[in-house]
Structure 1
Amino acid sequence: MKLRSHRVFLLVLALGVVLRALAVLGYRPALWFWADSFAYLSSGLDLRPLESRPSGYSVFLWALSPLHSLAAVAVVQHLLGLAIATCVYALLRRRTRLPGWGAALAAAPVLLDVHQVQLEHLVMADLLFTALVVAAVTLLLWRPRPAPWTVLAALLLLALATVTRTIGLPLIAVALLLAWPGWRAALAGLLAAAAVLGGYAVWFHSAYGSYGMGGSSMWLWSRTMTFADCGTMRPPRELAVLCPSGPRLAAPAYIWDARSPIQKAGADRERLAGEFASLAIRRQPVDFLLTGLHDALWAFEWDRRVYPSPGPQSAYVFPASVKPFSPKVASAGRTATQLTAAYQGSSGATQVVQPYAGWLRAYQEVGFLRGPLLAAILLIGLGGVAARRWAALLPWAFAATLLLLPPLIAAFDHRYVVPVVPLACLAAGLALGSRAVPPPWRSAAADVQPDQGRKLTAVHRAADA
């Protein structure tokens, strides 16, 4: 295509670059998320798995450590954000008949949403996870029927996403079901994914003596505490100590709050929390599903909700000021100042620099995707699937999985909603710009003679190209 046909996207891309430049100039070297960011950084410095979460992002930080710059980490993450938007645009131009401005419009929420930019500037795993997932979807959908090596590469990327955030694991199953590549390609891809996941489990075992991905059963337990009724559950005496009492707290508060019954569980809290959560889900499955669905719907509200507090607006914003590092924020025996100094030779405490930060904050008041618009985008993708525009099915299913599972098994958080946006926009673009074709898992040759099957397959590829 001629460069002129991409001029709308290039204009929106340039605006996205400006926003990211303001973030780099206005908040130096990066933004931090409580103790989580420092746990990742500590793991990256020592190159060891974390016990409470997968450490793929820590490996990412370790790989960038020769740059000795947290600002460079933020810049690389911003480049990944631009790459996510480029994948959305390029895939829509290749697989649909959308005009350049239409594909650019689908990529615009990724480029121009201030909360996407903030997530890129945050020392957290979510941006890397999103980039890996979008790259996998791009590979699977680049052609109507993915080549075996493409399937292998895509499942490898999803495995890497899983060792970055465990929510990536169900996406591997979704990808195989909805983009069925045939037995040989599926087996090769599964072996590649198993090698990554198994290798990580062995690494975890070397540190903690058990095979796993890192994680805590207390997250699921805290989720069940928002609906658990011990009168219905009838837990044994050993588990009854974890029953909720008094006013219900927000799910995450049950892990940290001094009033939480988990504070009375002693050293065996992980096992007890896991058994209690399992019992609550088995005895109250409807309550479990409805509670998660109720919280997931907060993503569609006009104002972004601070969770667990009830008010509007999001915790993930560019702040007017930043508190200095506290000695209480530490990981592996080192304070935040010590950790950042070990990574780059100086403290990584965020400095708010004017006028760049002020300009970005002014844009922040209006420059984000409102919840009802996200709902409309998801409905467009779903409508495309209903109209047999099957190319939209995979990204839409990924978006729905990432939207519904976190509030179902942990808690609602707008940080978990941002990765849904590029997948939802991609599904909507494919729904509007592609044609109705047979589903990818059904071979046309199975219903007709071989010669006819080859001709029909060629027609379907041409229609979906």
Structure 2
Amino acid sequence: MLLSPLARRRSKSAMGAVKGNWLFAAVLLAGVVLRVITMLGFRSALWFNDSYDFLRIADDPFPHPLRPSGYGILLWGLKPFHSLALVTLLQHAAIAGLAVAAYRMLVRDFEVRRTWAALAVTPILLDSYQIELEHLLLSDTLFIVLVFGATLLLARPGATGWRRAAAAGALLGMASVTRTVGLPLFVIVLLYLVVRRTRWPVCAALAVTFVLPVGAYATWFQQEHGRFQMTGVDGVFLWGRTAAFADCDAHAPPPDLASLCPYGAKENRPASSHQIWEENSPTGWSNGKAFSQETNERAQRFAFWAIRNQPADYLRVVSYDFFVRTFSWHRSQYPTVGTEARYHFPTKPTARKPGLPVLGGGDRRTVVYEYSHGTGRTHIVEPYAEFMRDYQERVSVPGTVLGIVLLAGAAGIVRRRARARTALFWTPAVALLAIPPVTVDFDYRYMLPAMPFACFAAALAWGRRRPAAAVEVPEAVAAPEAQPADA
């Protein structure tokens, strides 16, 4: 089938937009070079406390009682290579590829101006904390790729077929067994299809392929732990949120919950999330052991009791974390000095406590050795490491800038600029930022998955090219059915 002259012009214009944007080419090249320097400077991976749990899952897969096992299952698939460097390489490559896909979709499918499209993907390519996150053995990079990839699939112009919806549903399902914050994102996507009056078979395809991995994982969890859930800590996490303000002196809790009262005056307590894991916590946390079902249920009851008795305090804590901590220009050492330090390129390898037990069996040393056939110790190589440390001090996206980008997307929705698709990206951005403060605590790494959504929404709202003037066609060659309807 021959393309019309107008279709050929549009096709060439789209390809030219991708190939001819030197700004995007420069940003992409810089992003790749920075990731290569990171690989050279920090061999083979950076470590977080959760990293050892994921490697324990990878050594012998099981449904982890504290966090979903999706990322651990991915690591299990890569275990035959016994290479932590391969894991970080794939994480870096996945984010770079996602940025390319997002840019091409903005230019080709949404006719966003090339400069706007390049600026939209600049944060995910050049933000220093994003690059450092990709080098950590954490589930966040996989989660970003899955949820943003699913949204890109559904946002493509044209009728949404059941195959595309099924693929998006499967990606969202896999994201939810990677991080449970993916569960509410499915509701947002489904509402998007309903608002656009999508045919019910398409919605059904999305729902079925989403439920399959989530339901299979919950069934697996039930077989191991006796509960049809994704994790066994939803109540404990919510307890941590209320531990920031719960006042058992002013409001006497039920007798069976009194032992869960947080210690000390409210103004002197540690961060919400830290109170869960600290020594002598009312939750009874101990390294290498899971919370019992009874503890989780009691913690949840305590949290609901605290929220009912102190709703204003709950709103104050959540609002401060969301509006102040999230959108502040400068970062603070929150939730703890040690936790926030893990998000910076280090000057020396992370100290590993010998013999510290890991939930599921073994200790940190043994689970790392079984996976990598080595110590897994980070080798810091200069001058590459120093370059990335200097870069991180100078180049990042402050929370205030992220807030401005979100406001730009919201303004575009109000002004009806590609309203539905802009909302499809803007709403998950807000949800990803709001859910952690509402349910457990604020953490800086939870901001990064929201960034590509917010930037994409702003580009859709304000960066689209104006429609070109209609091309006049001589009457002698114009077919009757090509005439305007009101001619």
The TM-score with structure 2 as length reference comes to 0.85
Matched, 1:417 2:417: no
TM-superposition CA deviations, 1:124-170 (whole Å, max 9, x none): 00110011011011001111542222112112111110000000000
Matched, 1:128 2:134: no
Inter-partner Cα distance in structure 1 for 2:310 and 2:366: 46
Matched, 1:244 2:262: yes
Alignment of 1:5-404 (within 5 A): 5-34=20-49, 36-180=50-194, 181-216=198-233, 217-230=235-248, 234-248=252-266, 249=269, 250-258=271-279, 260-263=281-284, 268-297=294-323, 298-309=325-336, 315-331=342-358, 332-389=360-417, 390=419, 391-404=421-434
Inter-partner Cα distance in structure 2 for 1:4 and 1:195: 39
Q: Using the TM superposition, give the Cα deviation of residue 417 of structure 1 relative to its aligned residue in structure 2, in angstroms.
A: 0.5
**Contact 2:221–2:228 at 8 Å: present in 1 too?**
yes
Deviates more, 1:236-245 or 1:373-382: 236-245
Matching residue's letter, 1:409 = T
Inter-partner Cα distance in structure 1 for 2:350 and 2:429: 35
Alignment of 1:426-465 (within 5 A): 426-434=456-464
Q: After the TM superposition, which segments of 4 or more aligned residues of structure 1 sit over 6 Å from their partners?
A: 264-267, 310-313
Deviates more, 1:245-254 or 1:41-50: 245-254
Q: Using the TM superposition, give the Cα deviation of residue 259 of structure 1 relative to its aligned residue in structure 2, in angstroms.
A: 5.4
What do you get for the CA RMSD once the two structures are aligned? Answer: 2.5
Distance 1:284 1:100, change over 3 A: same
Distance 1:264 1:243, change over 3 A: farther
- Structure 1: give runs of 5+ residues left out of the alignment: 437-454, 457-465
Q: Using the TM superposition, give the Cα deviation of residue 25 of structure 1 relative to its aligned residue in structure 2, in angstroms.
A: 0.7
Q: Using the TM superposition, give the Cα deviation of residue 350 of structure 1 relative to its aligned residue in structure 2, in angstroms.
A: 0.9
**Contact 1:303–1:312 at 8 Å: present in 2 too?**
no
Deviates more, 1:188-197 or 1:36-45: 188-197
Deviates more, 1:151-160 or 1:240-249: 240-249
Inter-partner Cα distance in structure 2 for 1:191 and 1:375: 35
Q: Using the TM superposition, give the Cα deviation of residue 311 of structure 1 relative to its aligned residue in structure 2, in angstroms.
A: 12
Matching residue's letter, 1:6 = N
Aligned length: 438
**Contact 2:369–2:376 at 8 Å: present in 1 too?**
yes
Q: Using the TM superposition, give the Cα deviation of residue 55 of structure 1 relative to its aligned residue in structure 2, in angstroms.
A: 0.4
Q: Using the TM superposition, give the Cα deviation of residue 270 of structure 1 relative to its aligned residue in structure 2, in angstroms.
A: 2.1
Deviates more, 1:67-76 or 1:3-12: 3-12
Q: Using the TM superposition, give the Cα deviation of residue 264 of structure 1 relative to its aligned residue in structure 2, in angstroms.
A: 10
Matching residue's letter, 2:310 = Q
Inter-partner Cα distance in structure 2 for 1:127 and 1:317: 16
Q: Using the TM superposition, give the Cα deviation of residue 92 of structure 1 relative to its aligned residue in structure 2, in angstroms.
A: 1.2
Deviates more, 1:157-166 or 1:244-253: 244-253
- Structure 2: give runs of 5+ residues left out of the alignment: 1-14, 467-483
**Contact 1:241–1:264 at 8 Å: present in 2 too?**
no
Q: Using the TM superposition, give the Cα deviation of residue 234 of structure 1 relative to its aligned residue in structure 2, in angstroms.
A: 4.4
**Contact 1:304–1:312 at 8 Å: present in 2 too?**
no
Matching residue's letter, 2:94 = L
**Contact 2:279–2:285 at 8 Å: present in 1 too?**
no
TM-superposition CA deviations, 1:156-196 (whole Å, max 9, x none): 11111000000000000011112333322111211111111
Distance 1:427 1:264, change over 3 A: closer
Q: Using the TM superposition, give the Cα deviation of residue 243 of structure 1 relative to its aligned residue in structure 2, in angstroms.
A: 2.3
Matching residue's letter, 1:336 = R
Distance 1:293 1:144, change over 3 A: farther
Matching residue's letter, 2:314 = F
Deviates more, 1:10-19 or 1:270-279: 270-279
Inter-partner Cα distance in structure 2 for 1:232 and 1:425: 45
Distance 1:61 1:311, change over 3 A: closer
Aligned to 2:478: none
TM-superposition CA deviations, 1:411-438 (whole Å, max 9, x none): 10001001111111111111113489xx
**Contact 1:92–1:103 at 8 Å: present in 2 too?**
yes
Distance 1:203 1:245, change over 3 A: closer
Distance 1:125 1:305, change over 3 A: same
Inter-partner Cα distance in structure 1 for 2:337 and 2:243: 18
Distance 1:319 1:200, change over 3 A: same
Instruction: Provide the secondary structure at the position in 2 that maps to 1:42.
Output: helix
Deviates more, 1:18-27 or 1:259-268: 259-268
**Contact 2:274–2:336 at 8 Å: present in 1 too?**
no
Q: Using the TM superposition, give the Cα deviation of residue 320 of structure 1 relative to its aligned residue in structure 2, in angstroms.
A: 1.0
TM-superposition CA deviations, 1:380-436 (whole Å, max 9, x none): 111111111212101100000000010110110001001111111111111113489
**Contact 2:243–2:272 at 8 Å: present in 1 too?**
yes
Matched, 1:408 2:438: yes
Distance 1:22 1:330, change over 3 A: farther
**Contact 2:113–2:465 at 8 Å: present in 1 too?**
no
Inter-partner Cα distance in structure 2 for 1:215 and 1:85: 35
Inter-partner Cα distance in structure 1 for 2:433 and 2:226: 33
Structure whose CA Rg is larger: 2
Distance 1:314 1:335, change over 3 A: closer
Aligned to 1:460: none
Distance 1:193 1:358, change over 3 A: same
Inter-partner Cα distance in structure 2 for 1:166 and 1:125: 11
**Contact 1:406–1:416 at 8 Å: present in 2 too?**
yes
Percent identity for Structure 1 against Structure 2 = 39
Q: Using the TM superposition, give the Cα deviation of residue 312 of structure 1 relative to its aligned residue in structure 2, in angstroms.
A: 12
TM-superposition CA deviations, 1:197-217 (whole Å, max 9, x none): 111111112222322111412
The TM-score with structure 1 as length reference comes to 0.88
Inter-partner Cα distance in structure 1 for 2:244 and 2:313: 10
Deviates more, 1:23-32 or 1:247-256: 247-256
Deviates more, 1:318-327 or 1:351-360: 318-327
TM-superposition CA deviations, 1:299-336 (whole Å, max 9, x none): 21111222124899764010111244321433233232
